[in-house]
Amino acid sequence: MLRAVAGSVLGPVARQLTGAQPRIVFYHRFGELSARRLTAPLFAQQLRYLRRHFNPLSLSDVVQAQATDKPLPPRTIVLTVDDGYQDFAEVAYPLLLQYQVPVTLYAVSRFASGELWLWFDRLRYVCEQAVSQKLTVEWSEGLISVNLQTPVQREQAWDLLSTRCLTLPTVARESLIATFARCAKVVIPAQAPALFAAMDWTTLRSLDPALIEIGAHTQTHPILSMCTDSELVTEITASKLEIESALQRSVVSFCYPNGRDCDFDERSVCAVRAAGFHSAVTSSGMLLPPGSDPFRLPRFGVDSHFGTFCNEVNGLTYLRQRWSGAIAAPKPGEIPGSRASLAMP
C-alpha cells in the first residue's frame, strides 16, 4: 500500500528526471493471464497510460535520431514484441491499432514458416503433459530430477530445464529435450499446438507496416553465444533474407534471443552488423543514454501489475536501483544498468 502511494507520488518525478532518455520495453505473449501472458484489458490499460504520459515512437525513428543527433521528444518510449506468436494478432494488434502505438515485432523465421516450434515451448509442453509425478532424467551431462506433482512444480521444472538449456549448444539442448520427452513418455507434435503457434506469413503480411515493423529474431531461436561460427552467421543472415523474401519488404532490426549479456557475444554483434541490420536490441538495461551503441540497445520487460508497470516505465525502478547502488550511473555510449531477464526468453 505504502509502496503504491510512493509510486503514484514519485512516478511523475522519476518520469521528469529520466524523461530525456528514451526507453525500450519488450513483451512476449498476450491472452489469458499467466507468467508470460498479458490480458487484453491489462495491455489496454498500459497503452492508455503510455499514450497519456509518453511519446510512443517506432524503433527506427529512435535509431535514426540517435545516429544523426536529432533531438527526440521528451518521454520517448518504444514498444517491442518478441517471437511472433499468433496471440499478438488476436489480442495485441487490435489494441495497438486502436491506440495507434507503433511496435517492432521480432519474428523467428522458421517458426513463422511453420517448420518448427520454439524449443522452450516444446519443453513446457513436455512438463505439462508428463503423467509421472517425479522424473529423473539421465543424459550425457549427468542427472536432473524434477517434481511434476502440482502446476507450480511443473512450472519450476520448466524453469530448471530451460535455464539449463540456455547454457547448451544446439545439439546438446535438443538432446536434453528429446531425452526428457522420452523419459516422460510424451510425444512432441511436429506442429505447434494452438497455444504455442506462430503468426504465419499471411498474418504477418496483413499487419499494417506503418504501425508494425517486422524485425528478425534468428531462424530457430538459439542462444547465439552457444552457436558455432557458421551456425551463428546462418541464423542471423538467413533469418533476415527469409523474412524479407516472405514479406517483400526490408528487414533492418534484429533482436538477440534471450538477450542477456551472456546470451550473445562479439561474434553475434559483428554478424548482425555485417548482415545489414541497422540496430539490435538486448534484454538488459533500462534507459538509452546519448550515443548508445545501436547494436546493443538496452530493453526491459514490463510487469503485468499496473503499479509496478508504471514504476518501470516512469524510470522509478531504474532510479531506485541506481540510488541503492545496484547499477552505476551510465556514461555516454554505455548500456545503463542491468536487470535480470524478466520473461524468458
Binding site for Zn ion (CB under 5 A): 82-83, 345
Q: How far is the CB of 222 from Zn ion (least distance, A)?
A: 11
> Which residue, 83 or 242, has its beta carbon nearer to Zn ion?
83
Amino acid of residue 69: D
Determine the residue type at 121.
D
**Tally of helices (H runs) and strands (E runs) in the chain:** 14, 12
Shortest Å distance, C-beta 198 to Zn ion: 12
Q: Is 135 helix (H, G, I), strand (E, B) or coil?
A: strand
Closest separation in Å from C-beta 273 to Zn ion: 20
Per DSSP, 171 falls in state H
Q: How far is the CB of 245 from Zn ion (least distance, A)?
A: 21
Name the DSSP letter for residue 78. Answer: E
CB of 334 to Zn ion, least distance (A): 24
Q: Of the two residues 166 and 184, which places its CB atom closer to Zn ion in the complex?
A: 166
Query: What is the DSSP code string of 85-130?
Result: BHHIIIIIHHHHHHHT--EEEEE-HHHHTTS---HHHHHHHHHHH-
CB of 36 or CB of 278, closer to Zn ion: 36
- What minimum distance in Å lies between the beta carbon of 118 and Zn ion? 8
CB closer to Zn ion out of 82 and 310: 82
- Nearer to Zn ion by Cβ, of 7 and 215: the residue is 215
* Closest by CA position to 264, among listed 240, 285, 281, 286: 281
Judged on CB neighbours under 10 Å (0-12, 13-18, 19+), 224 is: buried
Dist. CA 217–CA 254, nearest whole Å: 6
Round to whole Å and give the CA distance between 77 and 56.
5
Q: What is the enclosing helix (H) or strand (E) of 11?
A: helix 2-18
Residue nearest to Zn ion (CB): 82
C-alpha grid cell, residue 188: 512432441
Shortest reach from residue 257's CB to Zn ion, in Å? 5
* Nearest to Zn ion of 7, 345 (CB atom): 345
Q: Which is nearer to Zn ion, 29 or 154 (CB)?
A: 29
